[in-house]
Amino acid sequence: MDLLNSLLQNAPMKIAIVCYPTFGGSGVVATELGLELARRGHEIHFITYRQPVRLALISANVHYHEVNVPEYPLFHYQPYELALSSKLVDMVKLHKIELLHVHYAIPHAYAGYMAKQMLKEEGIDLPMVTTLHGTDITLVGNHPFYKPAVTFSINKSDIVTSVSQNLKDETLKLFQITNEIEVIPNFIELNKNIDNQSIPCYRSVIAQKEERVITHISNFRKVKRIADVVKIFYKIQQQIPAKLMMVGDGPEKEKAEILCEELGIQDKVIFFGNSNEVDRILSYSDLFLLPSETESFGLAALEAMAMSVPVISSNSGGLPEVNFNGISGYLSNVGDVDDMAHNALKIIREPAVLDKFKQQALETARKFDIHQILPLYEELYQRALSAYAH
């Protein structure tokens, strides 16, 4: 058995990754994980209904398989889970995939389990790893219509991970879970190639030299408390010259635009919508605001910190596991815009203090570098494969 384990640890793996292909955190994490695994020599197969947004280049070790859901008038809602299960079965058989890693409990873990059962009928047995990201548990999964299926899917997974200790605690509180849940935090790829030569020039288009650049990035849902972002900035710009960069799109965007007009700061706020220039925008930002009602992890905060941008956030959910109070930024109670604005000014008012927080934010982000986290997933995969080795 020791020899078998040794061989497994050194052998490239064939892994199917199932995720949502959108701008959201879970899709980004799943895609970046797969790409880095491919760089390490593993064969990665992304299986979803559209090419993931971060999957810009298909290489020899990276493959994308689209799940097609045929339109049929009998169905009021097209059965994506059925199409995904069937696609997984076909791809496992065609490419001899050894392991499934599904991101989001529903519908992916549920479809993955059904695929496993169908494959068993043909003598193919392979492990499934399920990663919980947040909304699949706290918002959607806890709905009475879905709760039995989510509980079943988690308990039938071979290995379950969550992106924060807070999310693990919430999952165990909301569901009757008999499986162990392992915490593997989200990660960031540091040292991205930003053309630093163009940053000062690009920044000057957005803000004057004496103005601080404040940034918020999200999907503009209610849970992000977009109005609080505007109110915090309003208080900041009363004290020092500043501009606010609002990156993303969603149902709360229009309300935020109206609020900016009501406060008379519309000329100091730029709404970018969804952008592929996130790294560049962060590269000339001085502060990041994330006053969310809750975050299962806070990937947007980590992405900011990785670009040396300190963070002002709420202390809810998994945020205290990412944003370290007084080091990478500050934490405040949800809705306490006065305290958040006060903390923001403490950071950005004096250049020396801002430089210190920028350095500390980057040092904190280094703890979540993909090269620190990815070996945890590789060890987990190898453990799952060892359990299935005959």
pLDDT digits (tens, 9 = 90+) for 290-310: 999 999 999 999 999 999 999
Give the lowest-confidence range in 173-187, 192-206, 262-276, 288-302: 192-206
Give the lowest-confidence range in 73-82, 218-227, 262-271: 73-82
Of the candidates 169, 122, 167, which has an alpha carbon nearest to the alpha carbon of residue 294? 167
Tell me the mean pLDDT in the region 348-366: 98
Give the lowest-confidence range in 97-106, 235-244, 337-346: 97-106
Tell me the mean pLDDT in the region 238-266: 97
Q: pLDDT tens for residues 222-235?
A: 999 999 999 999 99
Asked whether 184 and 163 are in contact (CB, 8 A), the reply is yes
| Cα–Cα dist 108/105, whole Å | 6
Burial level of 173, CB count in 10 A (0-12/13-18/19+)? exposed
pLDDT at 203: 81
**pTM higher than the cut 0.85:** yes
Q: pLDDT tens for residues 116-152?
A: 999 999 999 999 999 998 876 766 656 677 888 889 9
Asked whether 317 and 203 are in contact (CB, 8 A), the reply is no
pLDDT at 234: 98
| Cα–Cα dist 24/18, whole Å | 14
Q: Is the pLDDT of residue 196 over 60?
A: no
Q: Is the pLDDT of residue 258 over 90?
A: yes
| Cα–Cα dist 117/309, whole Å | 47
pLDDT cut 90: percent of the chain above it: 73
Tell me the mean pLDDT in the region 372-390: 93
Other C-beta atoms lying within 10 Å of the C-beta of residue 57: 6
Of the candidates 186, 114, 123, 121, which has an alpha carbon nearest to the alpha carbon of residue 153? 114
- Lookup: tokens for 228: 């609080």
Contacts 24+ apart (CB under 8 A), 322-325: 322/185, 322/297, 322/298, 322/364, 322/368, 323/290, 323/298, 323/364, 324/364
Asked whether 377 and 187 are in contact (CB, 8 A), the reply is no
Burial 198-210 (b: 16+ CB within 10 A, else e): eeeeebeeebeee
| Cα–Cα dist 230/283, whole Å | 21
- Mean pLDDT computed over every residue of the chain: 90
| Cα–Cα dist 379/188, whole Å | 19
pLDDT at 6: 47
Please enumerate in sequence order all residues whose Cβ is within 8 A of that of 306, keeping only pairs 6 or more positions apart, or say none: 188, 189, 190, 192, 362, 365, 368
Asked whether 157 and 129 are in contact (CB, 8 A), the reply is yes
pLDDT band at 55 (very low <50, low <70, confident <90, very high): confident
pLDDT cut 70: percent of the chain above it: 89
Q: Is the pLDDT of residue 7 over 80?
A: no
Q: pLDDT tens for residues 150-160?
A: 899 999 999 99
Tell me the mean pLDDT in the region 56-78: 79
Q: Is the pLDDT of residue 112 over 60?
A: yes
Asked whether 216 and 352 are in contact (CB, 8 A), the reply is no
DSSP assignment string, 318-365: TGGGTS-BTTTEEEE-TT-HHHHHHHHHHHHSSHHHHHHHHHHHHHHH
pLDDT at 20: 85
Tell me the mean pLDDT in the region 327-335: 98
Q: Is the pLDDT of residue 197 over 60?
A: no
DSSP assignment string, 288-309: EEE--S--SS-HHHHHHHHTT-
| Cα–Cα dist 283/280, whole Å | 5
Q: Is the pLDDT of residue 336 over 50?
A: yes
Q: Rounded to 5 degrees, what are φ and ψ at 172?
A: -65, -30
Q: Is the pLDDT of residue 75 over 80?
A: no
| Cα–Cα dist 37/42, whole Å | 6
pLDDT at 142: 61
Asked whether 18 and 100 are in contact (CB, 8 A), the reply is yes
